[in-house]
Structure formats: C-alpha cells, structure tokens
Amino acid sequence: MDEVVTIIDIIGVFVFAISGASTAMSKRLDPFGVFIVAFVASVGGGTLRDMLIGRNPVFWMEDSVYVYVIMAGALVAVLFKERIAYLRRTLSLFDTIGLAIFTIIGIEIGIRFKLDPVIVLSLGVMTGSFGGVIRDILVNEIPVVFHKEVYATASLIGGMFYMGGVFFGLDKFWNEIISITVIIIIRIIAVKYELALPSIYNKKKE
Amino acid sequence: MDEVVTIIDIIGVFVFAISGASTAMSKRLDPFGVFIVAFVASVGGGTLRDMLIGRNPVFWMEDSVYVYVIMAGALVAVLFKERIAYLRRTLSLFDTIGLAIFTIIGIEIGIRFKLDPVIVLSLGVMTGSFGGVIRDILVNEIPVVFHKEVYATASLIGGMFYMGGVFFGLDKFWNEIISITVIIIIRIIAVKYELALPSIYNKKKE
Amino acid sequence: MDEVVTIIDIIGVFVFAISGASTAMSKRLDPFGVFIVAFVASVGGGTLRDMLIGRNPVFWMEDSVYVYVIMAGALVAVLFKERIAYLRRTLSLFDTIGLAIFTIIGIEIGIRFKLDPVIVLSLGVMTGSFGGVIRDILVNEIPVVFHKEVYATASLIGGMFYMGGVFFGLDKFWNEIISITVIIIIRIIAVKYELALPSIYNKKKE
C-alpha cells in the first residue's frame, strides 16, 4: 500500500477513535470500555472488509501503529471531552471524516480485488459505515447511520465519484482528496439544512 | 454450485430482504437504513457461514446478482408494506422460507467441507437463523429466534431430514424440496397452534 | 495444539456455556435460545480470534467435542439454575474463569503467529472478552465488560504476566496456571472490594 493511503487511513482511525470514545463516554462507560468502543469503532469497518474479502490477518494486526493511534484518539477524546461532545453533536464531524476516508479505502481495495462495480460500492459503504454501526450496537442504540441525515447516502455518492475518477484516469491522490471532500461536504450540507431522504412512511404514525 | 442451489439461494435472499426491510420499516428507519437492514438480513447468515469455513471472498461478493435481488426485495417490501406487514406478523412467512432455504444450503456446504455431522447441523442452523439474529440486533431487539415459537427447532429438524436424505442417497433436488417443506410446515403448525418448547422456568416470575 | 491447551480450552468453553445459558435464562429465553446464547458466548471469542488471523475453519468446526461440551454446560446451567445464578451475580465466577483461560489462549496463538506484542495483547483481551460482549449484545444489554469492575483490566494484566513468562522462558504449563490464577485473583479482589478504574467523569451527571 502506498504512503498516501496509509496516512489517510491513520487519520480515519484517529477520528473514528475520537468518535467511538466520545459515544462511550456519553454512556459513562469506564476507561477500558471507552478504549474498547474506540477500538471497535476505528477498526470495525476495515476488519469486516478484510474478513469479507479474505485478507488475513486483518490490517491492524500487521502494524501496531493502529493500536497506538487509537490510544491517542481515545486520550484526546477524554481530555477534551466537552469540546468534542459539542463537535460530535452538532456536526458529527469525526464520524463524517472517518466515513469519507474509509469509504474510499474500501472502494480502492474492492477495485484492487477486481470485484464487480456494484460490489465495490457496497464494500466501500460497508467499510465506511460499519465501524459506526458496531459502535452504536455496543452501547445499545439503533445505529445512527440507519435513521439519521444522509449518512450512507453521502458515502455512496462519494464512492461513485471515486469510481468515476478511476474510470476517467484521474490521478489517485487527487481522486482521493476530491471524493473525500465530496462526502464531507454532502454531510455538512445535510446536517446544516436538516436534509433527509424522502420519507417512505405516511405522515401519521401507522 | 449447480443451478438449483443458485435458484433457491436467490429465493432465500429475496424473502429475507423482504423480512429485513419490513422489520426496518416497523422501526421507521430511513430508506437507506431499510436497504442496509434488508442487505444484512439477507446475506448475514451466508456471510457468517463463509467466514467460519474460510470461503473467500464471501458468496455475495462473487456475483452481483445478490445485490440486485436485495434491492428488489426491499422495493417490494416498501411498495406493498401494509400487506407484507400483515403476512410478517401473522405467519412470519418470509422469515420461515428464508430460514428453511438457508438451513439446507448451510448443511450442503458443511457436508461438502466434510465436517462432522453435529458441526454440519450447527452450521445449517446458524446459516438459517443468523441473518434474522443480526437483523434484530441492528434494530435493537432481542432476536426473535431466541424466544419465539419453535424457530430454530424447525431448522434443526429440517436439517436432520436433509442429512438423513443424503445418508439414504435421496436425489438432491427432492431432498432439498422435502427438507425445506418440512421446516416451513413445522413453523406454520407451531405458529397456528401457538406451540412452544417446554418451559424451563417456574410458572411464577423468579 | 498440545494436550494441556486442549483441556483448559474445554474448561473455558464449559464455564462460558454456563455463563451464557445463565444470562439467557435471566431473560427467560426458550430452551433453544438458551443453547444458542451459551454457544455464542462460548465460542464467540475464539471464533473472532480465528477469523481475524485467518485460521480456517475456525477451531470449533474441527472437533465436535466443543458442541457437546456446550450442551453439557447449558444443561448444568438449566439444572442448577438457582445456585448458578447466585454464583454468577456475586462473583461473576464463570465469566472470570473463562475470561482468564481465553485470554491466555489468545495470547499463545498471537505469539505463535509472530504478531507484534501490543497486537498479541489486544488479541488476548479480545479472545477473552468478546464471548461475553456478544452474549450481552444478544440479550440487548450494554456489555458488562465495558462498565463493570476491572474485567478487561484483569485480562490485560494477566496477559502481560504470561508474555513476561514467555520472555523469561518459564515452563508453558506453569506459565498458563500462574497467569490464569492472576486474572482470577484480580477479578475476585476487584469484586470483593468493589474496586473500579478511576473515573474519567465529573462527580455530577453531565
């Protein structure tokens, strides 16, 4: 894996560790629980991805830097918890950055394994969102990705952008930057203007 | 894999997608949440099975037809949601068909991998019921398979039927049809007559 | 795998089956639900471990003794449920023994796969605690390991003891016995004196 991927990968792990630790603290878990939820939120998406495609051992077992980055992310979340809780609630900022980065990494790996485009997209969305899903399950909540603002939709659109970029031969580095930015911008706009997918339910409670 | 397996496999994925989407809608998830719960309910059992035995990549990554079938199932569930909610509540119809099909497929794969009979049965029951388990966990419920009418029991008995058929050299196609029918009939009888496993608890709340 | 590991492995599976069945009964699941939660609690940690490192098929599929041991454990839990509920509540006894054993087995396997020490420790803690985590998720609770007495901490310290023993060339059998004992003693002391990790929260509810 080239260096750029590794750096954005580590940023993704770091922000998801903050997000996981922050969620765990909102449930007042003990320090170890905070670390474990941070760990699972960080590596969950990539671990599922690697188990699905059969890449063994999974990515974080081959390089201990991930564990240290997660420790750092959890520590930052504990030390600056008021400020981070604010960012988390208002913008879902850390989630969004992690979602964007992991979506693109998942798609890159899917392409490398020569999977069918619709499978590549599925793998990207799963890699991006599964960490958050399992984080929420661990603290006994319905995963936020299932009922909140265009979360997975942003991941899907960004993933399509990236695949379009690959198709048109765009430089990999810029393709990553652009696609990640697209996901983040869609999310921020959705949160700011309270956009949601069109409802499939009648107005009245059924 | 021969063609018959593929067709019943796809039917299983389709009905579980309906079941998953329907459960998700009962929790009023957004369209993407509905699709993802449908996805996980559909491929969850087979994905676990493939990861346990080490078949990589997992089945649905090798053929994009599964993703389209899931989309179709979720769409059907959204379009006909009143009727499907009725069938789901009264007969658990879609669950039952999916359970039956995936149990038998799990057992076939266990046999092909030459696993011990009791392991083959465990793999069959898991493949059949895990999609429903993870579907319920995702929407924050105790899995229905753990406390409702003879669900896993039906899967177990049908699995034994199939293994008996293999032992006596029954034609594979008829063995599949018979075993799947056995599971569905047991479930329907259990639901109709409100059968349950004998209780292991005292009558009074402990 | 040598014989000693197999015996302690089976003890670990047995006590986790009791723990899982006991938790399931506290939620009044039906007999099959009790068995499945016992199954998942028992093999969950080791299954995750094997899927992470790519050991296929996973350990319990290669030897049907595990399934019988789980059945025995679940049966014991059902037959002696009052007494076991008492031991479970007061000492978390079965959890603790299982945690200790599976932590050490996870660490041994991590060492055999020549993973980095911090990854070996992570794998040990995960192998030890994941069965309990998934057990609690299945019955719709926040995993006890995340917010109760020094549970994962005991696992971590015992794992460090074992790795220290390996470093200093301690006999494997005695190293296992000592490390497992360390974990159990830490847990018992923590429960008895109601020790907890230092809080990272302000006294008042935020």
ipTM strictly over 0.90? no
Confidence of residue B14 (pLDDT cuts 50, 70, 90): very high
- Predicted local confidence at residue B175, as pLDDT: 94
Q: What are phi and psi of B40, to 5 degrees?
A: -65, -40
Domain membership of residue A198 (yes or no) is no
Query: Is the pLDDT at B206 greater than 50, yes or no?
Result: no
The reply to whether B103 falls in a domain is yes
d(CA B147, CA B201): 13
Check whether B148 has a pLDDT greater than 70.
no
Contact C200 A78 (CB under 8 A): yes
C17/C95 Cα distance (integer angstroms):
9
**Identity of the amino acid at B185:** I
Tokens of A175: 């393709």
- Give the SS3 label for residue A68: helix
Is A30 in contact with C196 (Cβ distance < 8 A)? yes
Maximum CA extent, chain C: 52
Cα dihedral B56→B60→B65→B66 (10° resolution): 170
pLDDT for A92: 74
Contact C64 B201 (CB under 8 A): no
- Hey, what are A120's tokens? 């590549």
Q: What is the pLDDT of residue A7?
A: 86
Closest residue on chain A to C125 (Cα): A36
C145 to A28: CB separation less than 8 angstroms, yes or no:
no
Classify the C-alpha dihedral C49-C53-C57-C59 as positive or negative. negative
**Which residues of chain C make contact with B53, given a CB cutoff of 8 A?**
56-57, 61
The predicted structure's pLDDT at residue B73: 94
Of the partner residues B53, B118, B148, the one whose CB lies closest to the CB of residue C57 = B53
Q: What is the 3-state secondary structure (H, E, C) of chain C?
A: CCHHHHHHHHHHHHHHHHHHHHHHHHCCCCHHHHHHHHHHHHHHHHHHHHHHHCCCCCHHHCCCHHHHHHHHHHHHHHHCHHHHHHHHHHHCHHHHHHHHHHHHHHHHHHHHCCCCHHHHHHHHHHHHHHHHHHHHHHCCCCCHHHCCCCHHHHHHHHHHHHHHHHHCCCCHHHHHHHHHHHHHHHHHHHHHCCCCCCCCCCCCCC
Nearest to C52 among A30, A33, A61 (CB): A61
Cβ of B67 within 8 Å of Cβ of A119? The answer is: yes
* Residue A76's pLDDT band (cuts 50, 70, 90): very high
Number of A/B CB contacts below 8 angstroms equals 80
Task: Point out the residue among C51, C118, C133 whose CB comes nearest to the CB of A51.
Answer: C51
Q: What is the pLDDT of residues A157-185, one digit of tens each?
A: 999 999 999 999 999 989 999 999 999 99
Nearest CA in chain A to B24: A146
Would you say residue A196 has pLDDT above 50? yes
Distance from C53 to chain A by nearest Cα, in Å?
4
Judging contacts by C-beta atoms under 8 Å, the chain C residues touching residue A58 are 52
For the record, the structure tokens of A11 come out as 């940023």
Whether residues B138 and A151 touch (CB distance < 8 A) is answered with: no
Average pLDDT of the residues of chain A: 86
Chain B environment of A133 (Cβ under 8 Å): 138
Q: Is residue B198 part of a domain?
A: no
Q: State which residue of chain B sits closest to A134, comparing Cα positions.
A: B138
What per-residue confidence (pLDDT) applies to A205? Answer: 45
- The rounded mean pLDDT for chain B is 86
Confidence category of residue A10, pLDDT binned at 50, 70, 90: very high
Q: Tell me the two tokens of residue B173.
A: 């196609």
Q: How far apart are CA A29 and CA A23, in angstroms?
A: 9
Binary contact (B115, C60; C-beta < 8 A):
no
Structure tokens belonging to residue C98: 């299982």
pLDDT at A206: 41
Residue in chain B closest to A139 (alpha carbons) equals B140
Interface test with B, best of A114, A141, A146 (most B CBs within 10 A): A146
Number of structural domains found in chain C? 1
| Chains contacting chain B through 3 or more C-beta pairs under 8 A | A, C
Cα-based distances in Å from B50 to A163, B11, B16, B101, B153 = 28, 19, 18, 16, 23
What is Dmax (Cα atoms) for chain B?
52
Q: What percent of chain A has pLDDT over 70?
A: 91
Distance (Å, rounded) from C-alpha A116 to C-alpha A95? 27
- Write down the pLDDT at residue B43: 93
Q: What is the pLDDT of residues B52-78, one digit of tens each?
A: 998 888 999 988 899 999 999 999 999
C24, C32, C78 member nearest B152 (Cβ): C32
* pLDDT value at A63 more than 60: yes
Answer whether B122 sits within 8 Å of C39, measured CB to CB. yes
Write down the pLDDT at residue C164. 95
- Do residue C199 and residue A30 have CB atoms under 8 angstroms apart? yes
Least confident of A9-18, B195-204, C25-34, C35-44: B195-204
* pLDDT on residue C116: 93
Exposed e or buried b for every residue in C27-62, given b needs 16+ CB within 10 A? bebbbbbbbbbbbbbbbbbbbbbbbbbbbbbbbbbe
Residue B151's pLDDT is 81
**A91's tokens:** 């913008």
By C-alpha distance, the chain C residue nearest B151 is C32
Q: Is residue C66 part of a domain?
A: yes
- pLDDT beneath 50, residues of chain C: 1, 204-206
Q: Kindly state the DSSP code that residue A77 receives in the 8-state scheme.
A: H
Contact: C145, A36; criterion CB under 8 Å: yes
Task: Let me know if A115 is exposed, middle or buried by CB neighbors in 10 A (0-12, 13-18, 19+).
Answer: buried
| Residue-level pLDDT at B1 | 45
Start-end of H helices in chain A = 3-26, 31-53, 65-79, 81-91, 93-112, 117-138, 151-167, 172-192
Q: Which residues in B lie closer than 8 A to residue C139 (C-beta atoms)?
A: 142, 146
Q: How far apart are CA B82 and CA C113, in angstroms?
A: 54
Q: Nearest by CB to C140, which of A37, A54, A140?
A: A140
Task: Name chain A contacts of C147, Cβ cutoff 8 Å.
Answer: 27-30, 33
Q: At residue A29, does pLDDT exceed 80?
A: yes
Is residue A124, in this structure, part of any structural domain at all?
Answer: yes
Residue B24, φ and ψ in degrees, nearest 5: -60, -40
Inside any domain, residue A183: yes
Nearest CA in chain C to B143: C138
| CA–CA dist C16, C23 (Å, integer) | 10
Partners of residue A60 in chain C, C-beta under 8 Å? 119
Residue C199 placed within a domain: no
For residue B201, tell me if it sits in a domain: no
C62: containing domain: 3-192
Tell me: the pLDDT tens digits for A121-161? 999 999 998 898 889 888 888 888 777 667 888 999 999 99
Q: Read off the amino acid at residue B58.
A: V
Shortest CA gap B197–chain A (Å) = 29
Q: Over 50: is that where the pLDDT of B205 sits?
A: no
Do B198 and C56 lie within an 8 Å CB cutoff?
A: no
